[in-house]
Structure 1
Amino acid sequence: MIESWRWYGPFDPITLPEVAQTGAAGIVHALHEVPYGEVWTNDAIAARKAEITGAGFTWDVAESLPIHEAVKRGEGDLSTLFANYRQSMANLAANGIRTICYNFMPLLDWTRTDLRAPLARGGSCLRFDASRMAAFEIHMLGRAGAEDEYSQDVRNKAAIWFQQSSESDREALLHAIMSGLPGAFDRYDIAGLRDVLQSYEGIDRDTLRANYKRFLQEVVPAAEDLGMVFCVHPDDPPRDILGLPRIVSDGDDIDWILSAVDSPANGLTLCSGSLGANPANDVPAIAARFANKIRFGHLRNVRKEPDGSFEEAAHLEGDTDMVALADVFVTEEARRREAGEDFASIPVRPDHGHEILSDIGAKSVPGYPMIGRLRGLAELRGVFRALEYAATRG
């Protein structure tokens, strides 16, 4: 495995010299300051790569090269957006960055209702609370049809929370929901969110799939020519949000994507936390099913609740058997090396982390504290080393 670390560049209070002390070898990074749809220039990529390599790292994955919302909606003349995307790909490849992680989630990236939910033994974690999300959709946003998507018990709790909440409570909830958009991305107030949701009116699951397939048809051949790989990140959480369809939520969705454009360049980011939030998903089994298509790994764990809520667990705790999942990665990497395949080594990173110890009050990017991820990386490193040792012993 290539032990990697997500770094947000100018938006990250954690410095590269600090990351170096974690033992990670690679950096996962994006030019978050570039607006969606614009070209990542060769000069900007080269400058950032020089900063990363100058600190003793490799830049292993571009995460994410974002997709403009017009592409997801399939609206208007998209030729310039597709051309810009391919040019950004070419500029990354020219700088030796050949793996691109991306997602096709409409409007919002990962979604949480609490950025610092308290943990029993101290510290905090990211949390998705179904009743707070229902309160937001039903009582704050007033989205038509939202009531039908939640159980009566969740709706009752949502009404109580809303009645008892202060204006600052509601502002904090909106802020949390918007916080999955890092860097120079748009944030919305309630009125703005209502307006932008209208732009998705009439776009159902089939329409979004058709627009996604068109995107793949536009960029995957270019990736093949450039010697690059794409790896789609699953939806987070793996359920419809704000009435918008999510189409990368389980094994069948992944199978459709990888079959839509059958190519070695069309691959998967195996995110154990995103897939793990769906009670129907057996994450190690999904990883084994698509092992030869995994190009990147996000390793984290979640603890689910019956009403659809979940929160981030420690990396070796939670509902996903992380040792079984790590074994899939070790086995697949060994197979690739034996076969002499390109991209044999899989970049993996500890995804998210608890805010603990000196993380508390450090104002890190939500979900990306220093000590919590360092704990996760150390735990995962131990698992990988033990599995690799066992494999060599037969």
Structure 2
Amino acid sequence: MRQTWRWFGPRDLVSIDDVRQAGAVGVVSALHHVPTGAVWTPDEIARRQAEIATMKDGTPSTLTWDVVESLPVSEDIKKQKGDWRAHIDAYRDSLRHLAAAGIEVICYNFMPVLDWTRTDLAWKRPSGATCMRFDLTDFAAFDLFILARPGATDDYEEALQAAAEARFRAMSDADRDQLAGNVVFGLPGAAERFTLDDVRAHLAEYSGISEDRLRGHMIDFLSEVVPLAEELGLRLCCHPDDPPVPLLGLPRIMSTEAQYAAVMRAVDSPANGITLCSGSLGARADNDLPGMMDRLGDRVHFLHLRNVTRETGAVFGSFHEAEHLGGDTDMVALVEAALREEARRRASGRADWSIPFRPDHGQDILDDLGRRAQPGYPSIGRLKGLAELRGIIAALEPRIAV
């Protein structure tokens, strides 16, 4: 399992020097400054590779750009509106340029409007650490009374609506602004920042798009880009919905094993793969992460290893980011399943037998609390997670056999 680390570019407050000291051997990055739908040029790709390869004092870092996360899919492509065909052409050009630069693994997602959703970006834990949290009552308060989405009352039981109204009325104006900002924060480091009016406008455009229709749009997109990816030797891997349930009346199509399997069958190619994110999928109680790794493992091209604690017994409810070994996902069993998949790949002669993984998210601890890095991406919290995962791998790897 190849140890990687997400880096948001030169403005990231966790530096390449920090990544090197953490022990990662590869970097997961993207051209966050390039607008969605535009071509990633060879010069921009080469510039990012050079930044990754160089430490502050100018010496080589020995790190390489191993995984793109993300090459974003535009809202026009997801909705099949506006410039969507031109954006697919641009996506194909970007794939060609990435392949020419030697980068083989491309992570993306097909979530409508928001790339992830949390209600609190720094929830304090009893230890003094902070983490990201999704509070269902807070989210309902945002949806019903801040965004005031038409039809939102249809999505919440009466008891939750009453609790959300009470929560909303108890909030100060500053609390309400903070909640709204947290919910629409979007992808860290992305070029876009959504306002509430932006969200309302996007929601209106999705009003006639069902889950089946969105899946059809995704399959259309993959049918255009996967054959080229296979020709170029690239591995595309879709990140799951985060959280893995419908939100804001929007369809979700990559939240369960069955949904992933359907898309893998529809565009049946080794280049059409999965980013198995144990945190996103683990927020849903009926997702069996080790089982998914066993059953879909030949298409898993990238692993996000993180953990969440579900705060209710429901299929979906409130949850918070846990320590890597402290949440509801059996991380040891998941890593063991990944190592079994690697052993199968080695035995069959696959060149891509080593699956890149990164310690996804992490709690802010120690100096992280003053660093104010990207929410969810602390330096020491991720270092702790990587060390714990490295320990699991070292204990299990010698014992794994096909």
The match for 2:240 among 234, 243, 264 is: 234
Letter in 2 for 1:279: A
* Alpha-carbon displacement from aligned partner over 1:249-284 (angstroms, at most 9, x marks no partner): 001001011111000101111100111011111111
1:223 aligned onto 2:229: yes
Instruction: Report the counterpart of residue 115 of structure 1 in structure 2.
Output: 121
Letter in 1 for 2:393: F
The match for 1:177 among 155, 176, 183 is: 183
Local SS of the residue matching 1:368: coil
Instruction: Report the counterpart of residue 91 of structure 1 in structure 2.
Output: 97
Change (3 A) 1:353 1:77: closer
Give 4+ residue runs of structure 1 displaced > 4 Å after superposition.
none
Distance 1:386 1:239 in 2: 35
Contact persistence 1:295–1:346 (CA under 8 A): yes
Letter in 2 for 1:34: V
The Cα of 1:179 is off from its aligned counterpart by 2.1
The match for 1:138 among 141, 144, 161 is: 144
Instruction: Report the counterpart of residue 79 of structure 2 in structure 1.
Output: 73
* Alpha-carbon displacement from aligned partner over 1:33-89 (angstroms, at most 9, x marks no partner): 000000000011011112212322011100000001000001145332111001100
1:348 aligned onto 2:357: yes
1:386 aligned onto 2:395: yes
Contact persistence 1:37–1:85 (CA under 8 A): yes
Letter in 2 for 1:22: A
Letter in 1 for 2:25: A
The Cα of 1:239 is off from its aligned counterpart by 0.6
* Alpha-carbon displacement from aligned partner over 1:4-37 (angstroms, at most 9, x marks no partner): 0000003311110111110000000000000000
Distance 2:4 2:103 in 1: 14
Distance 1:110 1:11 in 2: 21
Letter in 1 for 2:257: G
Deviates further, 25-34 or 339-348: 339-348
Instruction: Report the counterpart of residue 127 of structure 1 in structure 2.
Output: 133
Alignment of 1:1-394 (within 5 A): 1-54=1-54, 55-76=61-82, 78-306=84-312, 308-391=317-400
Local SS of the residue matching 2:370: coil
Q: Across the two proteins, how many residue pairs are aligned to each other?
A: 393
Local SS of the residue matching 2:308: strand
The Cα of 1:363 is off from its aligned counterpart by 1.0
Contact persistence 1:272–1:320 (CA under 8 A): yes
Letter in 2 for 1:277: A
Contact persistence 1:102–1:230 (CA under 8 A): yes
Letter in 2 for 1:49: Q
Contact persistence 1:11–1:183 (CA under 8 A): no
The Cα of 1:331 is off from its aligned counterpart by 0.8
Distance 2:281 2:208 in 1: 26
Local SS of the residue matching 2:3: strand
Change (3 A) 1:297 1:184: closer
Contact persistence 1:35–1:185 (CA under 8 A): yes
* Alpha-carbon displacement from aligned partner over 1:96-149 (angstroms, at most 9, x marks no partner): 001100000001001100000111111111000000000000011111222222
Distance 2:83 2:356 in 1: 36
**Structure 1 segments unaligned to the other structure (5+ residues):** none
Local SS of the residue matching 1:13: coil
Deviates further, 344-353 or 74-83: 74-83
Local SS of the residue matching 2:194: coil
Local SS of the residue matching 1:3: strand
Percent of aligned pairs with the same amino acid: 51
Deviates further, 233-242 or 306-315: 306-315
Letter in 1 for 2:116: W
Local SS of the residue matching 1:290: helix
* Alpha-carbon displacement from aligned partner over 1:160-205 (angstroms, at most 9, x marks no partner): 1110111111111111112232224322332332122112121111
**Structure 2 segments unaligned to the other structure (5+ residues):** 55-60
Letter in 2 for 1:363: R
Distance 1:277 1:14 in 2: 27
